[in-house]
């Protein structure tokens, strides 16, 4: 039922808006409102805070089904659930949960601010600082590549409160858009997932109340690592949804397009390519689902999450590229959907941990016998 309702929304409300949102590089506010109305922005959030109280796997299904139509909307839901809500559910105080989770489930978009210009894969090289000023902290610095940066009102922000102690000084904070000294900077003009805003955010003596420290002081590295481990499964779901969308478009087109007097899907060369695409998607999908179920079962899942993200992002890129070729010249123009799927797929190998970082994680775990 849940999958069917998300798919109905994606087909009926989202699909007619996809091309325009991509061209304008802007998320339709009506789409965001409908995501909240359907409960998709607080899937795991406990019912007492206005959420659905469902499991992680349910959120993954939602991300997959939205991404089948528009991966930009899929990642909006993904960041809200697997990063922002997740961090607050796991590390928020009772007061923070009541104050922020209720808003995030009802009508407020969240964002996750970790990356900086010189701090990407080396996340702990961050230069954003947080100075103790009595009843509040003063944050200074800049963050880059912040998904949902234009729409968000609540940010989970990482800053170093004791730079002399290296990563042990990194601390997480909940920062509101209206806080003094906070501003949204440049919005990036991107290759893909263009309707999803990606921005710089700036902290210029930003005042953050002491009660907005998230989790323990100096344990921000733990918050970031553990939330991103779950976030990678969400990106895996985005990528398999994208790949499914591309394959379905290819199946439809090859059944209609005729050459030499018959549909091109009657040629073995095309049939075999479609079969390879479907098989790779199924393998990636099972890896993502397995990682999500392991997370829900309380089992170690870091290796499986890294594998799922690595493989699903590769599959999404391959399948969407092959779909373009099946469309021939039509695949290269914006009148047809497959070129967008290919553009959207590229980010899968980059954000929430590059493919090389996933390989490093997998290698470290398998060589240590885990």
User: Active-site positions?
Assistant: 352
Under 8 Å between Cβ of 300 and 370: yes
How far apart are alpha carbons 306 and 351 in whole angstroms?
Answer: 12
How many whole angstroms from its chain centre is CA 9?
A: 19
DSSP helix/strand/coil, 352: coil
Strand-pair partners of 206: 139
- Output the CA–CA distances (angstroms, integers) from residue 357 to 56, 189, 292, in the order listed: 24, 25, 20
Per-residue tokens: 273: 């390519």
How far apart are alpha carbons 79 and 74 in whole angstroms?
Answer: 9
Quickly list DSSP for 254-288: HHH-EETTEEGGGSHHHHHHHHHHHHHHHHHHHHH
- Output the CA–CA distances (angstroms, integers) from residue 10 to 13, 14, 38, 157, 289, in the order listed: 6, 5, 11, 31, 21
**Residues 88-92: contacts with CB within 8 Å, 24+ apart?**
88/156, 88/174, 88/214, 89/44, 89/45, 89/46, 90/223, 90/226, 90/227, 91/172, 91/214, 91/215, 91/223, 92/174, 92/214
How far apart are alpha carbons 113 and 83 in whole angstroms?
Answer: 10
- Output the CA–CA distances (angstroms, integers) from residue 329 to 22, 128, 158, 225, 275, in the order listed: 21, 47, 46, 43, 22
Length of the chain: 370
């Amino acid at each position: 039922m849940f999958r069917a309702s998300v798919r109905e929304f994606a087909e009926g409300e989202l699909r007619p808006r996809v091309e325009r949102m991509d061209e304008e590089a802007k998320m339709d506010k009506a789409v965001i409102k409908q995501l909240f109305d359907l409960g998709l922005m607080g899937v795991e959030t406990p019912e007492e805070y206005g959420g659905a109280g469902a499991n992680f796997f349910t959120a993954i299904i939602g991300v997959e089904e939205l991404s089948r139509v528009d991966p930009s909307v899929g990642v909006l839901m993904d960041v809200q659930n697997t990063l922002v809500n997740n961090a607050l559910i796991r590390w928020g105080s009772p007061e923070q949960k009541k104050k922020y989770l209720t808003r995030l489930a009802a009508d407020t978009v969240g964002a996750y601010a970790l990356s900086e210009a010189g701090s990407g894969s080396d996340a702990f090289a961050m230069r954003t600082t947080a100075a103790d000023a009595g009843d509040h902290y003063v944050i200074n610095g800049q963050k880059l590549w912040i998904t949902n940066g234009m729409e968000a009102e609540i940010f989970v922000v990482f800053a170093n409160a004791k730079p002399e102690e290296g990563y042990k000084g990194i601390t997480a904070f909940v920062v509101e858009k209206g806080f003094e000294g906070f501003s949204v900077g440049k919005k990036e003009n991107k290759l893909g997932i263009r309707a999803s805003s990606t921005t710089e955010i700036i902290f210029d003596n930003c005042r953050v109340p002491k009660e907005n420290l998230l989790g323990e002081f100096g344990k921000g590295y733990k918050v970031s690592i553990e939330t991103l481990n779950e976030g990678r499964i969400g990106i895996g779901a985005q990528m398999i949804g994208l790949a499914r969308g591309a394959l379905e478009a290819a199946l439809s087109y090859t059944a209609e397009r005729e050459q030499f007097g018959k549909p091109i899907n009657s040629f073995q060369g095309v049939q075999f390519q479609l079969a390879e695409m479907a098989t790779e998607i199924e393998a990636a999908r099972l890896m993502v689902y397995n990682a999500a179920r392991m997370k829900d079962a309380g089992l170690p899942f870091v290796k499986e999450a890294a594998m799922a993200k690595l493989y699903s992002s590769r599959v999404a890129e391959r399948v969407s590229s092959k779909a373009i070729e099946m469309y021939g010249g039509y695949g290269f123009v914006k009148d047809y959907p497959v070129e967008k799927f290919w553009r959207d797929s590229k980010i899968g190998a980059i954000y929430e941990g590059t493919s090389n970082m996933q390989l490093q994680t997998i290698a470290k775990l398998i060589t240590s016998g885990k």
